[in-house]
Structure 1
Amino acid sequence: MRPPTRRGFVVACSAALAGCRALPEESEPIEASATAPAVLPESSEYSLVAEDNPTIETTVTVDFSGDVELTSRQDVIATVFQRVYESPSGERFGLLTAPAVQVVDQPEIVRDPLTAVDDARVVALATGGDVGSVSAWAESGSATLLGTETTQMAATATLDGSERDLARIRVRAGADSVTAIATAPDDAAPPFDAVTRDA
């Protein structure tokens, strides 16, 4: 039998103490990199206008519920694949591939670090633009990304000085999470279903 890990011991002790509501943070941040970028094929009408591998520093929070409610916070340094595309009409389509990090010693508990990053920064990374503010995201139907159908979210943002409608979907892809964000005119559907990934 494998000896319990420090995190497992902390979880067990915390669950036994009704007064203990927060798990201590790890002293060292998790460092992780995405394994392969999500991309649009060259046959797409969109052209690649920016690509980078930015490093994101954030704090991921996981809440546990049961007999005792517990919270675990972990600093994460994640290297993300960024791909930004533009259509002939000037619409932007961005793909951010981030490592799905295991925050605690439970294999099924993994988190996309981009969910802990400010919305304006995520939209700026995805569009390559100057983002002033982003409204609250709201459900807006469904869409398919990398073969997975999921909920599509809609918002508006001040992008490069003008208000733009946005559409966003996010899926797990192997050891990574992929976030796709598009400026979305009413007369055209974003190319979510055209996205590919070599992994």
Structure 2
Amino acid sequence: MTPPTRRGFVVACTAVLAGCGILPEESEPIEASATAPAVLPESGDYSLVVEESPTIETTVTVDFSGDVELTSRQDVIATIFQRVYESATGERFGLLTAPAVRVVDQPEVVRDPLTAVDSARVVSLAMDTDVDAVSEWRERGSEALLGTETTRTTATATINGSERDLARVRVRADEDSVTAIATISDDAATPFGAVTRDA
């Protein structure tokens, strides 16, 4: 018989003693780096204006429900790929590629650390500019990104003192997660479908 793991033992004890609780945080943060950036191939519409690999620090929280309710929190230090593009008309398109981080081993739970980062910070990275506020994201149909059909969400952001409408899509790509955010206007198509990944 295989002996129980440390985390399995903690889960069992928590369930017996309390019926609900918080799993202990790991003593060391998870450090991870994205493996390959999502990019927008060169075209006459958009040009690359930012190419960086910033590091973000956040805390990922996972809630479990069932016979018992448990919460796990894990600090994450993630190095991401940041690619920002601008069109001739001033529209911005940002691609953020983050490592998909395994937060809990049993059961295996994998999360995009950017989902735990404040929306204004994520938009600021994607647009490479100051963002004062972002409204609640709302589902608005679907969009293809890296060959995967996924939910499209929209929001309004205050960027450099002006309100801009945004569209966002997210997908899992091998060992990474890709977030794409575009400013949108009535006369400009968003380039989500043209995104590829570097080998």
> What is the TM-score with the length of structure 2 in the denominator?
0.95
Partner Cα separation in structure 2 for residue 10 and residue 142 of structure 1: 40
Tell me the percent identity.
80
Partner Cα separation in structure 2 for residue 102 and residue 92 of structure 1: 31
Partner Cα separation in structure 1 for residue 8 and residue 55 of structure 2: 29
Partner Cα separation in structure 2 for residue 127 and residue 118 of structure 1: 14
Unmatched tracts of structure 1, length 5 or more: none
Instruction: Deviation per CA, 1:15-47: give whole Å up to 9, x if none.
Output: 333344111111110000000000001135210
Superposed structure 1 runs of 4+ greater than 3 Å apart = 1-5
Partner Cα separation in structure 2 for residue 118 and residue 126 of structure 1: 13
Tell me what 1:197 maps to. Answer: 197
Tell me what 1:85 maps to. Answer: 85
SS at match of 2:104: coil
- 1:60, distance to aligned residue in structure 2 (A): 0.1
Instruction: Deviation per CA, 1:138-184: give whole Å up to 9, x if none.
Output: 01111000000011000000112211000000000001100000001
Partner Cα separation in structure 2 for residue 108 and residue 25 of structure 1: 16
Partner Cα separation in structure 2 for residue 189 and residue 149 of structure 1: 17
Partner Cα separation in structure 2 for residue 100 and residue 12 of structure 1: 27
| Shift in CA distance, 2/117, structure 1 to aligned 2, threshold 3 Å | same
SS at match of 2:157: strand
Tell me what 2:137 maps to. Answer: 137
Larger strand proportion of the pair? 2
Instruction: Deviation per CA, 1:99-153: give whole Å up to 9, x if none.
Output: 0101011364100000000000000000011101000000111100000001100
Tell me what 1:47 maps to. Answer: 47
Tell me what 2:28 maps to. Answer: 28
| Shift in CA distance, 65/20, structure 1 to aligned 2, threshold 3 Å | closer
Instruction: Deviation per CA, 1:72-117: give whole Å up to 9, x if none.
Output: 0000000010000000000000000000101011364100000000
| Shift in CA distance, 107/198, structure 1 to aligned 2, threshold 3 Å | farther
Partner Cα separation in structure 2 for residue 6 and residue 162 of structure 1: 51
- 1:51, distance to aligned residue in structure 2 (A): 1.2
| Shift in CA distance, 186/17, structure 1 to aligned 2, threshold 3 Å | farther
Partner Cα separation in structure 1 for residue 123 and residue 161 of structure 2: 14
- 1:3, distance to aligned residue in structure 2 (A): 4.5
SS at match of 1:13: helix
Tell me what 2:58 maps to. Answer: 58
SS at match of 2:41: coil
| Shift in CA distance, 3/79, structure 1 to aligned 2, threshold 3 Å | farther
Partner Cα separation in structure 1 for residue 139 and residue 198 of structure 2: 29
Q: Are the equivalent residues in 2 in contact too, given 1:8–1:105 (CA < 8 A)?
A: no
Partner Cα separation in structure 2 for residue 53 and residue 3 of structure 1: 42
> What is the TM-score with the length of structure 1 in the denominator?
0.95
Partner Cα separation in structure 2 for residue 99 and residue 19 of structure 1: 33
Counting matched residue pairs gives 199
Q: CA RMSD of the aligned region, Å?
A: 1.4
- 1:5, distance to aligned residue in structure 2 (A): 3.2
